[in-house]
Structure 1
């Protein structure tokens, strides 16, 4: 079976409309960066709220530094603005825990720097040919920098979650699900499908190339595991029962005295959590968030299931059984809207299971995009035919069993930085990220005809 053709609306844009699309994406990302940094005072900007994270002011200047390196210097061929700070904002040169001790740009200086870089980047966008090289073809470099900024915006949002103090971020509540209850599981038929992409213009190197994968039939949870379901695991003693945990997971659990998802606490009357400075009862209908791979894996074992593999997740999200084609998103090829998915920090929490029926896949799986990143059982690796571009440090240096793949994005992920092929990865111990999961299992006798 050959790789099925892909469709991407971005490829149909004229050069003028492509420039406008790139400018809008860059502008939206910058508005979010400004909102996240203007929400706190300068003292908060330079403070390290957790050793797991950089000071917010480092993220802001790093965003500008990467934009200058790729758009102003590389694509535009312009003279460097601040070459003396390149090393300070190289993420591979300095661990996050060490960044507060560096001679970083202060808040006012960082803001002025990113403004100046953006002015020059827009000038480059106006004049650069959007063809002739892989960096400029279909405005790839501008899309790459947009995604980079939005990824750091999500990182800054995670820093806000770790921050102590009164709430400074506010957003409306997510939509409520329809009254009709979803089925608990969906059977995904076996067979081949096209995984990855060759045609997505702004896809990053680890998403490429498109290739055929044969996935046996499996059963997948219709929605991510909810807090209410996870409480049953907690209250049944799941965190004290060695049977459900891998060796590494059990060691991590005990070494760090972990007894519940991060930011949860048992109080009289039930479980409570802290969410962006708000102390509230854990909502039973929302997908559980801030759990590690180890916790997700243990829950799945307790439930008599397992975590899905990465190919299983992508098949459920993209495969159209009628046409045989892989879609860009579960609902089709069009960009996400507020009706499709909980994205872009539009809400400051996951939406309850079933809240986005318009975003369901052809096979009836819900909320595969947005709400929570979903752990898979797959270690991060390159696809057959992988080629690092435009630099090895984006993906290739992370390949190996140390990292597990996450899929689908969260409520803190922007639409520009997520699609059905997008791959995230992290250490299996990570809990500060907006990660949850759903379970899979092999079909029982008689379930597959």
Structure 2
């Protein structure tokens, strides 16, 4: 169909939905419509990632839209001690949540340290310069196989142009900014960078326990930047937990204890994807602020690089 037919079909659906909702539909219909709206938000985010990936294949490096460049330096990395203990993980049932956030359950978390901000472009450049993509000892076996098979030498979209290190953005190609959170990293790259740094990735329970009392604010879609920006120093807690880049965790994407798939087509929404993927947390610069929360579980396969994905480091707390 052409664009006129697509627009006409959209208008038809909009009219039908407005008519349905104007008749005080049954609660189960409201639940389905609410799920559909949140699902639409997911696809709007994915569309921005897809547009960027498609435009990056054009030799002219076209811009999708204007994006501002924030070249502030990164804030100093600090290690923030996180208390251990029994933590309730998952959604409480108040307000909307996807079925993969349920049921809430208790998880024991050992004391650990969490990095105050995500890993930056400058830190990943140091990893590259240190031969990170040529050192098999830093990589998981599957990850090293992917590096060799696909010829990875740097994160996706990085390239040298006229002797300058650059990356591709929704605003076109531009020089790398060392203070920005590093983006478009696969799980394999995140894990290798953590190992090179003498650290590790946090588990999703550790990430959620650190984020549970933090406000959902940051470089999200509502700020209309559509690109990660250097973290601003904000109090004593973790910076940029929400927005900028989805943060890889070491946790496999699996059902929570007691998870049950819903009957019918809705039951296929998450459950059938719970294999061979890893959990990411926190949203990104293309995520609407009212879409993400501390319990939100995103997931991608380990080799995926096209998403706005990055890494925040964690460390085991040494016994005293």
Instruction: Note if 1:343 corresponds to 2:220.
Output: yes
Describe the shift of the 1:388–1:198 C-alpha distance in structure 2 as closer, same or farther (beyond 3 A): farther
Instruction: Note if 1:404 corresponds to 2:295.
Output: no
Larger Rg: 1
User: 2:305 — aligned with what?
Assistant: 431
Task: Give how far 1:374 is off.
Answer: 0.7
Task: Give how far 1:182 is off.
Answer: 4.7
User: 1:419 — aligned with what?
Assistant: 293
Number of residues of Structure 1 aligned to a counterpart in Structure 2: 312
CA distance in 2, matches of 1:169, 1:297: 32
Q: By percentage of residues, which structure has more strand?
A: 2
CA distance in 2, matches of 1:149, 1:254: 36
Task: Give how far 1:266 is off.
Answer: 3.1
CA distance in 1, matches of 2:227, 2:241: 16
TM-score with structure 2 length normalisation? Answer: 0.91
1:395 to 262, 270, 277: 270
CA distance in 1, matches of 2:86, 2:105: 10
Task: Give how far 1:366 is off.
Answer: 1.3
1:157 to 27, 48, 57: 48
User: 1:205 — aligned with what?
Assistant: 99
Q: Structure 2: where are the runs of 5+ without partners?
A: none
Instruction: Note if 1:231 corresponds to 2:231.
Output: no
What root-mean-square deviation, in Å, do the aligned CA atoms of Structure 1 and Structure 2 show?
2.1
The within-5 A match list for 1:235-246 is: 235-246=129-140
1:295 to 166, 184, 189: 189
SS of corresponding position for 1:156: helix
1:274 to 146, 155, 168: 168
2:231 to 353, 362, 372: 353
Q: Over residues 94-115 of structure 1, what are the superposed CA-to-partner deviations in whole Å (9 max), with x where a residue is unaligned? A: xxxxxxxxxxx33221121122
Task: Give how far 1:119 is off.
Answer: 1.9
Contact 1:170 1:348 in 2 (8 A): no
Contact 1:174 1:342 in 2 (8 A): no
CA distance in 1, matches of 2:25, 2:76: 49
Contact 1:208 1:383 in 2 (8 A): yes
User: 2:208 — aligned with what?
Assistant: 314
User: 1:321 — aligned with what?
Assistant: none
Q: Over residues 221-266 of structure 1, what are the superposed CA-to-partner deviations in whole Å (9 max), with x where a residue is unaligned? A: 1111000111110101111011100100000000000100000013
Instruction: Note if 1:170 corresponds to 2:66.
Output: yes
Task: Give how far 1:172 is off.
Answer: 4.7
Name which structure has the greater RCO, CA cutoff 8 Å, separation 6+. Answer: 2
SS of corresponding position for 1:194: strand
User: 2:316 — aligned with what?
Assistant: 442
User: 1:220 — aligned with what?
Assistant: 114
